[in-house]
Amino acid sequence: MDRRRRALLLAPALMLPPAAAATAGQAAAPPPWRPDRPVRAIVPFAPGGATDVVARVVAEAAGTLLGQPFVIENRPGGAAGLIGSEAVAKAAPDGHTILIHSNAHVIAPALVARMPFDVIRDFAAVAHLGRIPQVLVVNLRLPVTDMRSLLDWLRANAGRVNFASAGIGSANHLASEVFRAAAKAEVQMVQYRGGGPAMQAVIAGEAHMCIDPVASAVGHIRGGTVRPIAVAGASRSAVLPEVPSASEAGLPAWSAAAWVAAFAPARTPPAAIAALNAAFNEAMVRIEPRLTELAIERRPELASPEALEAFVREDAARSQQVLRDAGVRPE
């Protein structure tokens, strides 16, 4: 190429302002994604439960950060919240519809033979919204005060113990099955329509024991209507510091907790996922004292969508196997 032709080709770039000349030939970076209207957050359970409480507390703070409110829409129904989940799976993948669900989300395939969606492939992981520890409580008239005396009593009354559960496929049900396997206890699992009715059955003596999220059980424990035995897992709950962990109580194999997370429809743009994730994470940091009051534990190691997706896949495989081992079959 001769010098005259080369000079003519370079002339337009030389005439650009310095900043423009430095980026000549490169595409301008797109602006950060932000919602342009309220975000619909579907909770697949009735109002008032642990998942609904987490959704409302965290979403309010996240909406303030994003400049658009999160509108909570309760869509209960179907095994493991199937109706609400399906609505999100089929929603437009534009960042304006999300699902806020518990670990019941990944239990559904163990309960439903013909799933209308795939719990992994049809959703994009957005943000982990907290871990909710579970506590085992018993009726006050039971002659037990700790894990050792409870296990002795269960063995002495094998097959005659009613274990109340919040319903097939609930986080409480899963925690109950894990306990039954860890304790090698022969109990009758009685399914109720939610954690509230299951707890009331224990208080009334209709059932002997149940497992409930710390957040909803703490009032009954402090009110003296049930007796706490242990918190599932290796750590105590900050809300119930006087109650030993399962590991301390002598049953380390009993490890179970509920979790809540936000998901979007598959194929939601990465920029929208990143913006929603950042807003939820920042919101949880800002309201952490409130979360602690509600016995909701933040998990920083699951802050990224990638870490959450890996966690969900692992928990799905583990939880579904627990129910299969317990004899639960999809219908």
Instruction: Please indicate, yes or no, whether the overall pTM of this predicted structure exceeds 0.95.
Output: no
C-beta atoms surrounding 206 within 10 Å: 15
Mean pLDDT value across residues 300-326: 93
Let me know: does 255 contact 234? Beta carbons within 8 Å.
Answer: yes
What is the fold, at CATH topology level, of the domain defined by 133-249? D-Maltodextrin-Binding Protein; domain 2 (3.40.190)
Angle between helix 305-325 and helix 171-183 axes, rounded to 10 deg: 60
pLDDT reading at 115 higher than 90: yes
Biggest alpha carbon distance in the chain?
100
What are the tens digits of pLDDT across the range 36-52?
999 999 999 888 778 88
Residue 187's pLDDT is 95
Residue 325's pLDDT is 86
pLDDT reading at 154 higher than 80: yes
Residue ranges of domains in the chain? 39-131+257-325, 133-249
What are the tens digits of pLDDT across the range 78-108?
878 899 999 999 999 999 999 999 998 998 8
Please give the CATH number for the structural domain made up of 39-131+257-325: 3.40.190.150
Pick from 261, 194, 279, 272: nearest CA to 55: 261
Same fold, 39-131+257-325 and 133-249: yes
From the number of C-beta atoms within 10 Å of its C-beta (0-12, 13-18, 19+), residue 200 rates as middle
pLDDT reading at 314 higher than 90: yes
Q: Residue 267 gets which letter from DSSP?
A: T
pLDDT reading at 16 higher than 50: no
Residue 46's pLDDT is 80
